[in-house]
Amino acid sequence: MAGYLFEPTRIASNLAQTHHKRSGQVRSGQAQKPKKQRHSSTKKEMQRDASSNNTYNYGDVVYWDARYLQESASTFDWYQRYSALRPLIRHHVPTSSRLLMVGCGNAVMSEDMVKDGYEDIVNIDISSVAINMMKKKHAHISQLQYMQMDVRDMSFFPDESFDNVMDKGTLDSLMCGTSAPLSAAQMLGEVSRLLKPGGTYILITYGDPSVRFPHLSRASYCWQITLYIIPRPGFERSASTSSSPAKSLLEPVPISENGLLPADFVLEDPDSHFIYVCKKMDEAELACSTSHLLMPTVV
Ligand SMILES: C[S@@+](CC[C@H](N)C(=O)[O-])C[C@H]1O[C@@H](n2cnc3c(N)ncnc32)[C@H](O)[C@@H]1O
């Protein structure tokens, strides 16, 4: 359980750092320029969060509402843009899928996915400010729907409503809140309930397997988990490693049955993002599975 005590500080600081790095990255032209740049108060706010050890507000609707009010009309994608994730998402999620984007915020991700052919994306967020803003902005895009909802209680939707659930930074936010383990269990229980058999939950997170596997590997979810790792945007490989070919994003990273990275595994970018593709096993797969419902790509 000690991990739970330490994780919020680390993740919150990572969330804050990512925000700064992303701003720098946008300036360097490696990502698409946001429609409107965030003003400097956002940066100061995040710095204050990190330096004052105020680690719990990312799990709090009051924090997000205030933040989106302050940044009304701007857009921001945490961690990664769709263009970087596209190979992996297209590989795992057919464009005809019914998708649920949990904690959509004011990200461009869903809009980019529609431009790439995705036909049906329901976006939810706990922040009514973000949802109202996005609803208005995307009223003309019939493929996008927006609803204010807490990811821990999505009882509005019947069981097995979605082929895919996409989460970029939302479980991480909950992990920074109070009662984090309970919130995570409520959220993931709901995600599992909403997935059709054979459907996938794609989690893009700062959490390495030592802190995410305990949450994802509950037998009741029946998830087959594959891990991918992607460096943060703008990461430059060091001279010593750049002679070897860069790993493809589509190359899964082996993990042990306990959900650990191999002992000799080198994380080129220590601030990499982890992508867990959790496939809800269908009846045939369940019948074939052994007592271990968790089936990582074994080392
Ligand atoms: C780190 S931001 C990520 C936003 C977006 N997914 C992206 O990639 O840019 C986390 C988002 O989760 C939302 N959120 C936090 N707790 C939530 C909850 N219990 N239910 C639904 N959304 C939540 C926040 O409002 C915020 O928009």
State pLDDT tens for residues 116-133.
999 999 999 999 999 999
Nearest residue (CA) to ligand 1, atom 16: 59
Distance CA 279, CA 140 (A): 32
- Tell me, what's the pLDDT at 38? 38
Distance CA 139, CA 99 (A): 18
Ligand 1 atom closest to residue 15's alpha carbon, by position in its atom list: 1
Ligand 1 atom closest to residue 204's alpha carbon, by position in its atom list: 8
- Tell me, what's the pLDDT at 29? 25
105 pocket-lining for ligand 1 (C-beta < 6 Å): yes
The pTM for the full model equals: 0.84
55 pocket-lining for ligand 1 (C-beta < 6 Å): no
203 pocket-lining for ligand 1 (C-beta < 6 Å): no
pLDDT in tens, 166-221: 999 999 999 998 899 999 999 999 999 999 999 999 999 999 999 999 999 999 99
CATH number for the segment(s) 1-299: 3.40.50.150
Nearest residue (CA) to ligand 1, atom 24: 103
Cα–ligand 1 centroid distance for 107 (angstroms): 10
- Tell me, what's the pLDDT at 299? 36
pLDDT band for position 85 (cuts 50, 70, 90): very high
Residue with tokens 């996409």: 166
State the greatest distance between any 2 C-alpha atoms of the chain, in Å, as a whole number.
55
Mean pLDDT of 269-282: 95
Distance CA 174, CA 250 (A): 28
Distance CA 36, CA 251 (A): 35
Distance CA 236, CA 268 (A): 10
Cα–ligand 1 centroid distance for 18 (angstroms): 15
pLDDT in tens, 59-71: 889 999 999 999 8
Domain ranges of the chain: 1-299
pLDDT in tens, 220-233: 999 999 999 999 99
pLDDT band for position 32 (cuts 50, 70, 90): very low
103 pocket-lining for ligand 1 (C-beta < 6 Å): yes
Cα–ligand 1 centroid distance for 26 (angstroms): 21
> Which residue among 63, 125, 194 is best mutated to probe the pocket of ligand 1, counting the most ligand atoms within 8 A of its Cβ?
125
Nearest residue (CA) to ligand 1, atom 2: 169
